[in-house]
Chain A
Amino acid sequence: MKRNIRISLKKNSLFCVCFAVLLIAFAAVPVQAQQTTVNLKIPELVKGSTVYATIEITNVTDLDAGQFDLSFNSSVLKVLNAENGSIGDMEIPLKWRSIDDGTVRVIFNLEGVTGISGFGQIARIGFEVIGEGEGDLLISNGLLGNIEANRINTDWGVTAAKDANQSTSGFGAVFALVGLIAVFCMFRSGRKT
C-alpha cells in the first residue's frame, strides 16, 4: 500500500516537473519570436575569390534606421563594396565607409518614417579574399532604430552563419513537441501501473 502511494507520488512529481518545463517552453517561444535578431552569415573563404558577408535580420518591427561596424582580418580580407539589402519589397539604402584597415561602418535610413517590419537582409558586404586564415568577421556597435527614433532591442550576437537559417521559434516548437510527447508517454505508463 505504502509502496503504491510512494510510486504514485513519484509519478505525480515527475508529471508536475514535466508540466512546468512545458509551460516554460511555451512561454519562451513567443518571447523569442519577438526578439529582433541580426545574423552575420559568413561564407567559406577561398583565397583569390570574391565573397559576400550577409547581414540578415529577423523579427523586426517598425525599423527605420540602423548602423553597425563590421570588422575583419585585413590580412585575409579586403573590402570591395556594400550592397543594399531588402526587407520585403523595401530596399535598405546603405551608406558605408572604411573607418580603418579592418573595419567598415555601415548605416542606413529608410525613406520617410513609415518603417518596415518582418525579416530580410540588411546588407551584403563584398570582400576579396587576399590571404589565408580566419576572416574574423564580427559585428560591433550595432544599433537599430524604430520610427519613433527609439532603440530597437536587438540580439546582435549571432555569427554562426551555417546555423543562421535555423529559426529560434522553430527550435522552440520542436522542444515543446518533444516535451508534450514525453508527458503523454508518462501519463500512459502511469495508468498501466
Chain B
Amino acid sequence: MTGNKFIIGMILTAILLGCMPTSAASDYTLGIFGNANGDDTIDAQDMEYTKCVVLGLNDQTQLADSKYDGQVNILDLTQIELIILGEEKELTLVDAAERIVTVKKPMDGNIISFGTYTPEILRILGEEDKIVAVNKYVKGNEIYFPELSKLPSIGSSYSPDLEIVASLNPELVLAWTTKPEKIEKLVEVVPENCSVVSLMFYKPENMVEEIGKLAYILGKRDEAKSYIDDFHNEYVDHIKALTENLPDDEQPEIYIESDRDEKYQTWAAGSAANGFIGIAGARNIFADIPGDGSINVDPEEVVGKNPDIIIKYIDTADAGYELDDPSKMKALRMSIMNRPELANVKAVKNGAVFVMDKDPIYGPDYPIAIAYWAKWSHPDLFEDLDPQAIHQKYIDIQGLDYDLNEHGVFIYPLLDEI
C-alpha cells in the first residue's frame, strides 16, 4: 500500500514537473509563439507544458498558441515539434516594436537590413550573402563591411528610401525601430510575401533574445548558439559573476558622455549604456533619471555627483577600424580633463577619464565594451581580463582579416598607459 502511494506520488510529481513553467530559470522570455513555458528556448518542455494546457492542468500562456490562431490545442503541439525540428511553415513572434508578426518559412530570399548592427548578426549567422541592401553607415564602412559596403543603400534607418526597398524584392526586411507606425509604412511598399520584422540588437538585456529570434526565423540556431555560448556568455557571464554581488560602496560611479557636439549629454536609467555600466560592476550617476534615450544634464549636476570615472564616446569618424592614429582621442580626452568645471571631480583628479569609440559599445560586440569598462572600474578584480583579445576574437568571428595589434584605435588611454 505504501509502495503504491509512493509510485502514485512519483507519477503525480513527474506530471506536475512537466507542467510547471520554467521561466524562473531564464533571464528572459524568448518572444516566439511556441515558447509555451516562457523560458529562453523552444524545446520538449514547451510540448509538455502545452499538453498540460490542453488537458486543463496549466493556465494558458499567450505563447502557448504556437499557431497563433486564438486557441491552444494539439495543433500547437505539432507546431512546437515542427519548430524544434526547424521544419515549421510559419513562425509567429513579437518584434522590437511589440508587433506580432508571422513569417513564412523557410526564409531563403533577399534580406534588407536597416540597422547597423543587424549585418553583424547576419554575418554571425552565416547569412551575409542574402543581404541585398544596407543602411548608409554600413555602406560607408568599407573596412568593417568590405562586401556589404558595395550593396545599394536604403539611406538612413529613420527615413529609408522606400523605392529602393520595394525594388529589391525582399523576402525579409529587418527594420530598426520601435515605432509600429514606421513599420506599417514599410509593410505597404514591400511585396506581399515579404515579412517586416523589427529587431534592434541594441540593449544588452535584449541581445541574446533578439539574436535567438532571428536565428529561429532563418533556421540558424546552431550558429547563434555558437556566438552566444562561445563569445557573449563566455565574457558577459564571467564579468557578471564577479560584479553582481559587489556592495554599492565597491561600485565606482560613472559619468558617460555622448559623442555628440553638445557637452553633458548622457543616458538615463532605461538606456543601453546604463545596462552596460551595471554589468561592469559600476553605477551610472544618472540612473535615477527615467527614460531610455539621451538626456542633457547640467554641468553642476555632474560636478555635484562627483563621478569616479568619466567615459566619453568619440565619433566613429575620429576613431575605429579605419584609423591607426589616436591623436584625436588624445585631444578629446585632454579637452575633458581641462574643463574648468570638472577640475575637482574625482575622475579628472585621478586621471580616470577614458575615451572610447562607439563601434564596439553597441551591437553584438558589446561584451568588448563591458570588458573595458569592467577593467577600468575594477582593475584588480579583472587583472587577467584582456579586452583587446576579446575584441580580436570578435573580429575573427566576423570573418575579417584585421589585426588589432597593427590597426585601429578604440580606446584612449591604452590599458598599458594607465
- Looking at the assembled complex, report how far the CB atom of B89 sits from the nearest CB atom of chain A, in whole angstroms: 6
- Chain B, range 81-112, C-beta contacts under 8 Å to A: 81-82, 85, 87-89
Least CB distance from A142 to B in Å reads 10
Interface residue SS majority, chain B:
helix
Interface contact A149-B55, CB-CB below 8 Å: no
Q: Does B323 have its Cβ within 8 Å of any Cβ on chain A?
A: no
**A67–B82 CB distance below 8 A:** no
Is A22 at the interface (CB under 8 A from chain B)? no
Cβ B81 vs Cβ A151 within 8 A: no
B56 & A67 in contact (Cβ 8 Å cutoff):
no
Q: Which of A150-186 contact B (CB under 8 A)?
A: 150-151
Q: Which of B56, B82, B85 contacts A105 (CB 8 A)?
A: B56
A143 touches B89 (CB 8 A): no
For chains A and B in complex, what number of residue pairs have CB atoms within 8 angstroms? 64
Chain A residues closer than 8 Å to B55, beta-carbon distance:
95-97, 99, 105, 107
A149 B78 Cβ-Cβ under 8 A:
yes
Q: Is A149 within 8 A of B79, CB to CB? A: yes
Q: Given the complex, which residues of B lie within 8 Å of A143, measured CB to CB?
A: 73-75
Give how many B residues have a beta carbon under 8 Å from the other chain's beta carbons: 21
How many chain A residues touch B (CB < 8 A): the figure is 22
Q: Name the residue on B nearest A106 (C-beta).
A: B55
Q: Is the CB of B56 within 8 A of A149?
A: no
A109 touches B47 (CB 8 A): yes
Check if B54 is an interface residue, CB within 8 A of chain A.
yes
- Decide if B77 is an interface residue (CB 8 Å cutoff): yes
Is there an interface contact between B75 and A109, defined as CB atoms closer than 8 Å? no
Judge whether B51 and A107 touch: CB under 8 Å.
Answer: yes
B67 at the interface (CB under 8 A from A): yes
B81 touches A67 (CB 8 A): no
Residue B57 interfacial (CB < 8 Å): yes
Q: Which one, A67, A97, A146, contacts B73 given CB within 8 A?
A: A67
Asked if A46 lies at the interface with its beta carbon under 8 angstroms from chain B, I say: no
The answer to whether B85 touches A65, judged by C-beta atoms less than 8 angstroms apart, is: no
Question: Known: A65-B75, A148-B89. Is A109-B51 also a contact (CB below 8 A)?
Answer: yes
Binding site for A on B (CB under 8 A): 47, 51, 54-57, 66-67, 73-79, 81-82, 85, 87-89
Q: Could you jot down 30 A-B contacts, CB within 8 Å?
A: A64-B78, A67-B54, A67-B74, A95-B55, A97-B56, A97-B57, A105-B54, A105-B55, A107-B55, A107-B74, A107-B77, A109-B74, A112-B85, A113-B78, A113-B81, A113-B85, A113-B87, A143-B74, A143-B75, A145-B73, A145-B74, A145-B77, A146-B78, A148-B78, A149-B66, A149-B67, A149-B78, A149-B79, A149-B89, A151-B75
